Chains A and B, each alone.
Chain A
Amino acid sequence: MKNYFIILLSIYGISMNAQEAFSGIVFTKEANETLPLEGANVFWLGTQIGGVTDQGGEFSIPFSKKTKQLVISYVGFKTDTLSVNTNIQFRHVLYENSSGNLDEVTVTQRRKAIQKSYLEAQNIINVNSAELLKAACCNLSESFETNPSIDVNFSDALTGTKQIKMLGLTSPYLLITEENIPMVRGASQAYGLTFTPGTWIESIQITKGMGTVVNGYESIAGQINTEIKKPFSDVPLFFNFFTSANGRQEVNAHGNFKVNDKWSSGIFIHGNQRTQKKDQNGDSFLDVPLAKQLNILNRWQYTDAEKGWVSFASIRWMQDDKQIGAVQFEPDRDKNSTSIWGSEIGTNRFDGSLKIGYVFPEIPYQSFGFQSAYSNHKQDSYYGFRRYEIDQESFYANLLFNSIIGNTKNKFKAGINFSFDQYLETVDTFFFDRSDRSVGSFFEYSYDNLENFSFVGGVRIDFHNRLGNFVTPRVHVRYLPREKTILRASVGSGRKAANIFAENQSLFGTNRLISIEQSGGSIYGLNPEIAWNYGLSIRQIFSLWGGSGDITADYYITNFTDQVVVDWEKQGQISFYNLEGQSRANSFQLAIDFSPVEALSFRLAYKNYDVKTAYKSGFLQRPLQAQNRFFGNIGWETERSTKGAQWRLDLTYHALGKQRLVSTVRDGDGSFAPAYGLWNSQLTRAFNNKLELYAGIENLGNYTQKNPIIAAEDPFGINFDSAQVYAPVFGRMLYAGLRWNL
């Protein structure tokens, strides 16, 4: 019996009174100090006669002659039962639970890899690390292949970069944050997602629709937040190796150590390279780039749970180099050559961030947080004759206060943020320099009736030197008409500056003439993009054949009141101009998740996109946007043995309907890309909790686009265009890897 009781029977308290009250004091020991314990329960065993200790640890309850067993309990403390035979002044010391001498009961419940929100008013999908393992490889841009809410497209036929879309809109219309600090924006828009290695990611939160006002006004179609692994909770040592048949190798190494009980630190190192030249389709252009990347992150975490402080400090450095273009292109020899087309893209990025969070220990519903981040992003590149350089320096700071109004049914967040961006841009022989400054404040109120209704209403006011002074309102409502039916609605506005070159870098892989039809605005002479987004979603949770699942239907409308239209319609030209007329993106999704037995799960989704914009040439469906998409995924996994051994198998299918193509020498007026389907599969063998091997095939059906590059034979002619890509350039691809942790 490790629980020993200290009962100090003191002589001075032999007082008895008429009402037969039993009184005493309960103490606790904290750092060798004996302190009175407030709020402890004191009651007679088997009865409900009892009371709670006051600030001085004192209690007074009726004396019970019946049971003579007194129970003293407090959350997080050992519960003591004591024999009391006579009514004397009573003193007792209650000890905190420490895991060492407590019979632990561990309840494990398998968490689903994708969790759709049940309690939040916003439509948030949480993707945890188990789901991320299903993706073949290797970085954030490739982490969405098994998620129907996000569509993965190909940005061009040269860089192998994947572009993501949500609600039919490309990633510039999403607010992409890393631990709630805006990350993929401005200069990093084209390749930014490839700069976060997949193994660093702890989880991803995808918000469909406007989302919260806390992180800024820039989100229009949705928000994607990535949580990086925390040194305090991550494994001490981790290694990952990956190799694929298209010549890509990746290495990841993580080390985490605890300096003391409050400080911990982690070092994350990622390297990848592709050194082999691949040209399957025989167009004499590389199907995938030659590449190398080195990416190093060091983060420090400070946690003082007792006092309520949590803090993170991170620094990160990244260098990424790609070579694309003709197979025989040698940069040293052929740079500026007029016969061999080639390109080099070099990116160097530095990030530093500091976050401090404080939760008031006495009142856990009140907290404040401070975030600040600095980044320097530098890209130097040339594409044949074309030159593109962008240098962005950013500073961001955010101060947030959380508390309640009355009680925890009414919560609010209020704060201010500041951002500064300095851009130096060179496009061919033109220079575009600008600096953006904004100060904003926000207030978000949320109400939850704790039963079937919740509401989040947020508003922010921003003062921006280029976007102007403006108000951004956003409202989210959740209602449960029945226990397993969840209705959600949202409405809100968003606005952003269009970084036309950084967001449309694939244009440099063409010889199209760039035309900016200025309208007197202050961003490349263009006005900012403003949109309203309306969403409606219904989710029904069901049980069938002993399994469980859910079916979700959602419909989102994005209406642009102003937009920078990217017009590829005219042959040999790309134009940017402010919207005149209508532009909308309506998207419908029907998704079913079903798990008939523990080991098996199905995920099916149908998506319909109606994305139309008023171009100079008419009100047209956005090019390279499939109107219909279908997604299917089957996952199978055996039960983990006590050692942790397990098999996991995944099969994913994507079907894309026909996509409108712009008129080029390859595709005539009014032509469409054929509908097609893609299969991916992956098999993982976990030998124990420490070692896993995985292998898979991407593009199992070996479907490729026949001539991804238009006029590949004349890369310096006006018709050369590598941006009109609707299907994979690279065929069936095998890969394998291993993960090991300590």
Chain B
Amino acid sequence: MKKVMILWVFLLPLALQAQEKKNKNAKATFEVSGNCEMCKKRIEKAVLTVKGVKMATWDIPSNVMSVIYDSNKAPLKTLQGEIAKVGHDTPLVKAKDVVYDELPQCCLYERMPEE
């Protein structure tokens, strides 16, 4: 029984590390409002400024953002916050009207009415 316990203690950090490692490359997809190639550049650039974000691809037709990120370093809300800062609405954070209004003509996506 003791042996088993020791083994457990020994394995625990390993298991934790494995868990952590998994989070290091967490995957998430969420919708980001936008229209065009210019939006794509802006949105992807904004997400990549967040430390811990490794890859970000925003698909124009479906408006879906796929990210691979270190969930220990950056919660989803932070990522979405950065996107909202450059004028694009996300499920968790909405862009400020002033920022939205500053977007180039082609990027003025249709905004969902607020709840």
Identify the closest chain B residue to A67 (Cβ): B115
In the bound complex, how far is the Cα of B45 from the Cα of A66, in angstroms?
Answer: 35
Q: Render B26-59 as a binary contact track against A, CB cut-off 8 A, 1 for contact.
A: 0111110100000001001100100101111001
Say if the beta carbon of B66 comes within 8 Å of chain A: yes
Residues of A contacting B112 with CB < 8 Å? Answer: 46-48
Q: Render B60-86 as a binary contact track against A, CB cut-off 8 A, 1 for contact.
A: 001010101000000010000000000
The answer to whether B31 touches A48, judged by C-beta atoms less than 8 angstroms apart, is yes
The answer to whether A364 touches B31, judged by C-beta atoms less than 8 angstroms apart, is no
Residues of B contacting A362 with CB < 8 Å? Answer: 25, 27, 68
| Of A38, A73, A404, A409, the contact of B27 (CB 8 Å cutoff) | A38
Q: Render A357-380 as a binary contact track against B, CB cut-off 8 A, 1 for contact.
A: 000001111000000000000000
The answer to whether A41 touches B31, judged by C-beta atoms less than 8 angstroms apart, is yes
The answer to whether A50 touches B91, judged by C-beta atoms less than 8 angstroms apart, is yes
The answer to whether B115 touches A52, judged by C-beta atoms less than 8 angstroms apart, is no
In the bound complex, how far is the Cα of B48 from the Cα of A64, in angstroms?
Answer: 32
Residues of A contacting B94 with CB < 8 Å? Answer: 48
Say if the beta carbon of A520 comes within 8 Å of chain B: no
In the bound complex, how far is the Cα of B41 from the Cα of A46, in angstroms?
Answer: 26
Identify the closest chain A residue to B53 (Cβ): A407
- B33 vs chain A, min Cβ distance (A): 8
Most-contacted residue by chain A among B45, B62, B66, B91 (CB, 10 A)? B91
Residues of B contacting A73 with CB < 8 Å? Answer: 31, 62, 64
- Given A50-B91, A451-B41, A363 and B29 contact (CB-CB distance below 8 Å): no
In the bound complex, how far is the Cα of B91 from the Cα of A40, in angstroms?
Answer: 13
The answer to whether A408 touches B45, judged by C-beta atoms less than 8 angstroms apart, is no
Residues of B contacting A64 with CB < 8 Å? Answer: 115
Identify the closest chain B residue to A79 (Cβ): B62
Residues of A contacting B51 with CB < 8 Å? Answer: 406
Residues of B contacting A38 with CB < 8 Å? Answer: 27
Residues of A contacting B68 with CB < 8 Å? Answer: 362-363, 365
Residues of A contacting B56 with CB < 8 Å? Answer: 407-408
- A585 vs chain B, min Cβ distance (A): 38
The answer to whether B54 touches A407, judged by C-beta atoms less than 8 angstroms apart, is yes
**Which chain A residues numbered 41 to 90 have a C-beta less than 8 Å away from chain B?**
41, 43, 46-52, 55, 64, 66, 73-75
**Which chain B residues numbered 89 to 103 have a C-beta less than 8 Å away from chain A?**
89-92, 94
| Of A46, A49, A365, the contact of B55 (CB 8 Å cutoff) | A365
Most-contacted residue by chain B among A362, A406, A408, A451 (CB, 10 A)? A408
From DSSP, what is the main secondary structure of chain A's interface residues? loop
In the bound complex, how far is the Cα of B115 from the Cα of A396, in angstroms?
Answer: 64
Most-contacted residue by chain A among B25, B55, B92 (CB, 10 A)? B55
Residues of A contacting B59 with CB < 8 Å? Answer: 75
Residues of A contacting B115 with CB < 8 Å? Answer: 47, 49, 64, 66
- A565 vs chain B, min Cβ distance (A): 50
In the bound complex, how far is the Cα of B27 from the Cα of A363, in angstroms?
Answer: 9
In the bound complex, how far is the Cα of B45 from the Cα of A41, in angstroms?
Answer: 22
In the bound complex, how far is the Cα of B26 from the Cα of A52, in angstroms?
Answer: 12
- B98 vs chain A, min Cβ distance (A): 19
The answer to whether A43 touches B31, judged by C-beta atoms less than 8 angstroms apart, is yes
Say if the beta carbon of A39 comes within 8 Å of chain B: yes
Residues of B contacting A404 with CB < 8 Å? Answer: 54-55
- B66 vs chain A, min Cβ distance (A): 6
Identify the closest chain A residue to B59 (Cβ): A75
The answer to whether A75 touches B55, judged by C-beta atoms less than 8 angstroms apart, is no
In the bound complex, how far is the Cα of B10 from the Cα of A607, in angstroms?
Answer: 70
Identify the closest chain B residue to A38 (Cβ): B27
Identify the closest chain A residue to B44 (Cβ): A450
Identify the closest chain B residue to A451 (Cβ): B41
Tell me how many residues of A have a C-beta within 8 Å of chain B. Answer: 30
- Given A48-B91, A52-B76, A41 and B66 contact (CB-CB distance below 8 Å): no
In the bound complex, how far is the Cα of B89 from the Cα of A40, in angstroms?
Answer: 18
Residues of B contacting A450 with CB < 8 Å? Answer: 41, 44-45, 48
In the bound complex, how far is the Cα of B51 from the Cα of A16, in angstroms?
Answer: 37
The answer to whether A39 touches B28, judged by C-beta atoms less than 8 angstroms apart, is yes
Identify the closest chain B residue to A364 (Cβ): B55
In the bound complex, how far is the Cα of B28 from the Cα of A40, in angstroms?
Answer: 8
Residues of B contacting A406 with CB < 8 Å? Answer: 51, 54
**Which chain A residues numbered 673 to 715 have a C-beta less than 8 Å away from chain B?**
none
In the bound complex, how far is the Cα of B69 from the Cα of A406, in angstroms?
Answer: 10
- A708 vs chain B, min Cβ distance (A): 54
| Of A46, A47, A75, the contact of B29 (CB 8 Å cutoff) | A75
- B37 vs chain A, min Cβ distance (A): 10
- Given A47-B112, A363-B68, A450-B45, A74 and B29 contact (CB-CB distance below 8 Å): yes
Residues of B contacting A49 with CB < 8 Å? Answer: 91, 115
Residues of A contacting B64 with CB < 8 Å? Answer: 41, 73, 75
- A541 vs chain B, min Cβ distance (A): 14
Identify the closest chain A residue to B94 (Cβ): A48
Identify the closest chain B residue to A51 (Cβ): B91
- B70 vs chain A, min Cβ distance (A): 10
| Of B25, B28, B45, B48, the contact of A52 (CB 8 Å cutoff) | B28
- B28 vs chain A, min Cβ distance (A): 5
The answer to whether A407 touches B55, judged by C-beta atoms less than 8 angstroms apart, is yes
Residues of B contacting A39 with CB < 8 Å? Answer: 27-29, 66
Identify the closest chain B residue to A452 (Cβ): B41
Residues of A contacting B53 with CB < 8 Å? Answer: 407
In the bound complex, how far is the Cα of B69 from the Cα of A408, in angstroms?
Answer: 11
**Which chain B residues numbered 3 to 36 have a C-beta less than 8 Å away from chain A?**
22, 25, 27-31, 33
Residues of A contacting B92 with CB < 8 Å? Answer: 51
- A72 vs chain B, min Cβ distance (A): 12
Identify the closest chain A residue to B48 (Cβ): A407
In the bound complex, how far is the Cα of B54 from the Cα of A73, in angstroms?
Answer: 23
Identify the closest chain A residue to B76 (Cβ): A52
In the bound complex, how far is the Cα of B45 from the Cα of A48, in angstroms?
Answer: 22
In the bound complex, how far is the Cα of B22 from the Cα of A161, in angstroms?
Answer: 58
Residues of B contacting A55 with CB < 8 Å? Answer: 22
The answer to whether B66 touches A75, judged by C-beta atoms less than 8 angstroms apart, is yes
Residues of A contacting B30 with CB < 8 Å? Answer: 41, 50, 52
In the bound complex, how far is the Cα of B51 from the Cα of A365, in angstroms?
Answer: 17
In the bound complex, how far is the Cα of B43 from the Cα of A90, in angstroms?
Answer: 32
Identify the closest chain A residue to B92 (Cβ): A51
| Of A41, A47, A66, A408, the contact of B54 (CB 8 Å cutoff) | A408
Residues of A contacting B62 with CB < 8 Å? Answer: 73, 75
In the bound complex, how far is the Cα of B59 from the Cα of A704, in angstroms?
Answer: 56
In the bound complex, how far is the Cα of B99 from the Cα of A614, in angstroms?
Answer: 64
Q: Render A395-407 as a binary contact track against B, CB cut-off 8 A, 1 for contact.
A: 0000000001011
In the bound complex, how far is the Cα of B112 from the Cα of A43, in angstroms?
Answer: 13
In the bound complex, how far is the Cα of B66 from the Cα of A407, in angstroms?
Answer: 14
Q: Render A527-571 as a binary contact track against B, CB cut-off 8 A, 1 for contact.
A: 000000000000000000000000000000000000000000000
* Closest CB pairs A-B (n = 5): A39-B29, A50-B91, A408-B55, A407-B48, A450-B45
Q: Supply 13 A–B pairs (Cβ within 8 Å), ascending by A.
A: A40-B29, A41-B29, A41-B30, A48-B94, A50-B31, A51-B92, A52-B30, A52-B91, A66-B115, A73-B64, A362-B27, A363-B25, A450-B48
Give A residues with C-beta under 8 Å from B. Answer: 38-41, 43, 46-52, 55, 64, 66, 73-75, 362-365, 404, 406-409, 449-451
Give B residues with C-beta under 8 Å from A. Answer: 22, 25, 27-31, 33, 41, 44-45, 48, 51, 53-56, 59, 62, 64, 66, 68, 76, 89-92, 94, 112, 115
Known contacts A41-B30, A408-B48; 15 further A-B pairs (Cβ under 8 A): A38-B27, A40-B29, A47-B112, A48-B90, A48-B94, A48-B112, A50-B30, A50-B91, A52-B28, A52-B29, A52-B76, A64-B115, A407-B48, A450-B48, A451-B45
